[in-house]
Structure 1
Amino acid sequence: MSTAPRTAVRTVVGMSGGVDSSVAALRLRDEDEPIAGLFMQNWDDDGSGDCRAEDDRRDAVAVSGRLGIPIHFRDFSGEYWKGVFEHFLAEYAAGRTPNPDVLCNREIKFKHFLDAARALGAEFIATGHYARVEARDGRHLLLRAVDRSKDQSYFLHQLGQAQLSATKFPLGRLLKRDVRQMALDAGLPTAAKKDSTGICFIGERDFREFLGRYLPAREGEMRTPDGQVIGRHPGVFYFTLGQREGLNIGGVRGFEAAPWYVVGKDVGENVLYVDQGSDSPWLHSQALWSEAAHWIAGSPPAKRFECTAQTRYRQADEACEVDVRDDGTLSVRFARAQRAVTPGQSLVLYDGDVCLGGAVIAATDAPLEERLKARAA
């Protein structure tokens, strides 16, 4: 590493207090990139004792000290509440299952964080995401990470040219195990820190208890698709398609001793529909319709095209045909039936390793969903 004096900051690294952002900063520092760190507080301590923001802040400070780089702090909790959390609640209230990480990236990390970095005089931001950016033919492409088991392009599909042209992903070509080893070799205090999982602002706490603070739920009936009542649920908001845990269905007379799964929700009637078997036909769909799509290149590759898609994180690629409708929404048909495609989640489209963009899933042709739509018409 060069010992030449550093110039003004050119890249600000989002320091989360985790091992990935720590190594992202380490790699840029060792490339003699003039950097600073920035810790974002996105959630106010709600008094539960479950918020780890202060621990993460201390770790970010410790890493920055170890690397010999300055660190800044910004409170984006107000922006997060309006841009992410209010949408999260509205989606659950409507019976859908949102993905707040996608919105957090678009609204906070690659919007307010980018603005804060520019206010500090920087040209670029960097994060510990596992993804890659490449410039080709005057366009910036979002590509999957080399470590496909950690690839996070799914959560970044709402980014556009302005954000990608100002973003660096130093971990995009690394394997996770090598990132851990780099942190250990450099003596970083986050080297063995456990990766965060789940929804960021809920953390390790009970999901139902947390959501119940904001969306008071009503008990209701659990029914089979043919209408037989087999139990009661604590609130349809708490469940998502394909879910097995938390149903608390014991032995039901006339049914096999097999696991039960959520296959549908009727928010208006406050009914949760369940069926036995992880491959229940009520869980499968072959087509979906989306809200207006976002295209990383600024426009779709064609009005109709074939590609692969993911309807959930870490899903294997699924072949599909995409029709872009006049209002920007998508009609998508898969080559084979898909399990538990969930309204509110993200459809993300790929051409090989290139992420094309994506959209929020609005509806599917799953049999129970079609029946409920016809009943409401």
Structure 2
Amino acid sequence: MSDNSQKKVIVGMSGGVDSSVSAYLLQQQGYHVEGLFMKNWEEDDDTEYCSAATDLADAQAVCDKLGIELHTVNFAAEYWDNVFALFLEEYKAGRTPNPDILCNKEIKFKAFLEFAAEDLGADYIATGHYVRRQDVDGKSRLLRGMDGNKDQSYFLYTLSHEQIAQSLFPVGELEKPQVRKIAEELELATAKKKDSTGICFIGERKFTDFLARYLPAQPGPILSVDDNKPMGQHQGLMYHTLGQRKGLGIGGVKDGGEDPWYVVDKDVANNILYVAQGHEHPRLMSYGLIAQQLHWVDRQPLTTELRCTVKTRYRQGDIPCTVTPLGDDRITVRFDEPVAAVTPGQSAVFYLDDVCLGGGIIEERIQE
């Protein structure tokens, strides 16, 4: 056995294939491995959508197969207070938040980390995220996962180097097909389970119906941004995001031409949704942005101008940019080329090659 045998790792077992294989890989590296399943949402009357019971059964089956103990913990109150309430506030304000980023910050790498260390005596926690950790000069860095198609560093930019130092990411060195292959060879219960795509912990429900339970919908006009021509009615600004093309209900407009219509702006004060034709319409393009609520992985605030790349949404290519500190925990970001659908409430995440530097919440877009 390696020196790792004295080290206890608590793996966040989600009932998915990535965390299942993570637990196995850590076993192979000689760690003392135990699992922890989190329940973070209470409304289980939605059996059609809420997969918590199935996920727990799958996690238990994997732990039984690997011969490791599975603990459970309920963080529903923390999730509601620190993730979901803020998520609703952002939607109410007409912004488009990213709950997965908030969930990682407040639940997986805070509540979970504290519980694992204090209650279960963990030396490390581990998750099935596709990211890598690199230790340089006594500080842990966050690197993109080896699988460029699955890299999840965008969702983990709020982590500090201290949190990363307490975390292991075994599948970050692998590509997804390799992970599936390992699970199939081990005949794990999760080997063929599809990846979850719903809101963090809330599952695969129809988003508009789900949101309407918590926020009263306020219908209002859809106007063409070019001439203020009425184009239809929206059911609530919260259901729409910049750059959205589907679900507008304004196809086949008379004299409208062939180009599809896109959401280009939201007037929250007057409850107006603005649309325009063409995915490169000037009102959809931004030359930069202002970001706030900044998090830098190394905990060092930015004091000088920085040349790097940025992503303004997940799965976007790297955008070369210049970042300038404004003071008061805000920055200006100028893109080398205009970018479509930069969306307030989403996160701008910065990189130097494979190193994730950190990021912030997009406060406003710069359109000139």
TM-score, length basis structure 2: 0.96
3-state SS, counterpart of residue 241 of structure 2: coil
Displacement of 1:14 in angstroms is 0.3
Displacement of 1:202 in angstroms is 4.1
The total of aligned residue pairs comes to 364
Residue aligning to 1:193: 193
Displacement of 1:206 in angstroms is 1.2
2:63 maps to amino acid? S
Give the Cα–Cα distance (whole angstroms) in 1 for the partners of residues 221 and 367 of structure 2: 21
Residue aligning to 2:218: 218
3-state SS, counterpart of residue 238 of structure 2: helix
Deviations 1:314-337 (A, max 9, x none): 111100000112212111100000
Residue aligning to 1:12: 10
Deviations 1:233-278 (A, max 9, x none): 1111100001111111132223213311111111110111011112
Displacement of 1:201 in angstroms is 4.0
Residue aligning to 1:149: 149
- In structure 2, relative to structure 1, the CA distance for the partners of 1:44 and 1:9 (3 Å cut) is farther
Gaps of 5+ in 1: 368-377
Deviations 1:74-119 (A, max 9, x none): 0001100001000100000000000000010010000111111112
Displacement of 1:47 in angstroms is 2.0
Give the Cα–Cα distance (whole angstroms) in 2 for the partners of residues 244 and 60 of structure 1: 38
Residue aligning to 1:23: 21
Give the Cα–Cα distance (whole angstroms) in 2 for the partners of residues 234 and 335 of structure 1: 36
1:272-351 to structure 2, matched below 5 A, reads 272-300=273-301, 302-351=303-352
1:63 is the counterpart of 2:62: yes
Residue aligning to 2:234: 233
1:271 maps to amino acid? I
CA RMSD, Structure 1 to Structure 2 (Å)? 1.5
The answer (yes or no) to whether the contact 1:293–1:329 under 8 Å persists in 2 is yes
Displacement of 1:46 in angstroms is 4.6
The answer (yes or no) to whether the contact 1:292–1:327 under 8 Å persists in 2 is no
- In structure 2, relative to structure 1, the CA distance for the partners of 1:170 and 1:95 (3 Å cut) is same
1:77-156 to structure 2, matched below 5 A, reads 77-118=76-117, 119-156=119-156
Deviations 1:28-50 (A, max 9, x none): 11122101000001111252221
Give the Cα–Cα distance (whole angstroms) in 1 for the partners of residues 75 and 293 of structure 2: 27
Give the Cα–Cα distance (whole angstroms) in 2 for the partners of residues 302 and 143 of structure 1: 23
2:223 maps to amino acid? R
Give the Cα–Cα distance (whole angstroms) in 1 for the partners of residues 12 and 325 of structure 2: 35
The answer (yes or no) to whether the contact 2:325–2:332 under 8 Å persists in 1 is yes
Displacement of 1:59 in angstroms is 0.3
2:34 maps to amino acid? A
1:169 maps to amino acid? F
Gaps of 5+ in 2: none
3-state SS, counterpart of residue 293 of structure 2: coil
Displacement of 1:281 in angstroms is 1.6
Give the Cα–Cα distance (whole angstroms) in 1 for the partners of residues 229 and 151 of structure 2: 42
The answer (yes or no) to whether the contact 1:291–1:330 under 8 Å persists in 2 is yes
3-state SS, counterpart of residue 213 of structure 1: helix
The answer (yes or no) to whether the contact 1:303–1:325 under 8 Å persists in 2 is no
1:206 is the counterpart of 2:203: no
Displacement of 1:204 in angstroms is 2.2
Residue aligning to 2:361: 360
Give the Cα–Cα distance (whole angstroms) in 2 for the partners of residues 96 and 192 of structure 1: 36
- In structure 2, relative to structure 1, the CA distance for the partners of 1:46 and 1:92 (3 Å cut) is farther
Give the Cα–Cα distance (whole angstroms) in 2 for the partners of residues 257 and 154 of structure 1: 35
Residue aligning to 2:262: 261
Percentage of matched positions with identical amino acids: 51
* Higher deviation after alignment, 327-336 or 251-260: 251-260
Give the Cα–Cα distance (whole angstroms) in 2 for the partners of residues 278 and 245 of structure 1: 13
The answer (yes or no) to whether the contact 2:35–2:69 under 8 Å persists in 1 is yes
The answer (yes or no) to whether the contact 2:5–2:30 under 8 Å persists in 1 is no
2:114 maps to amino acid? D
TM-score, length basis structure 1: 0.94
3-state SS, counterpart of residue 214 of structure 2: coil
* Higher deviation after alignment, 248-257 or 169-178: 248-257
3-state SS, counterpart of residue 171 of structure 1: helix
3-state SS, counterpart of residue 263 of structure 1: strand
* Higher deviation after alignment, 76-85 or 270-279: 270-279
Give the Cα–Cα distance (whole angstroms) in 1 for the partners of residues 13 and 301 of structure 2: 33
The answer (yes or no) to whether the contact 1:292–1:330 under 8 Å persists in 2 is no
1:35 is the counterpart of 2:33: yes
3-state SS, counterpart of residue 172 of structure 1: helix
3-state SS, counterpart of residue 105 of structure 2: helix
3-state SS, counterpart of residue 28 of structure 1: helix
Displacement of 1:141 in angstroms is 0.4
Displacement of 1:305 in angstroms is 1.1
* Higher deviation after alignment, 96-105 or 358-367: 358-367
3-state SS, counterpart of residue 86 of structure 2: helix
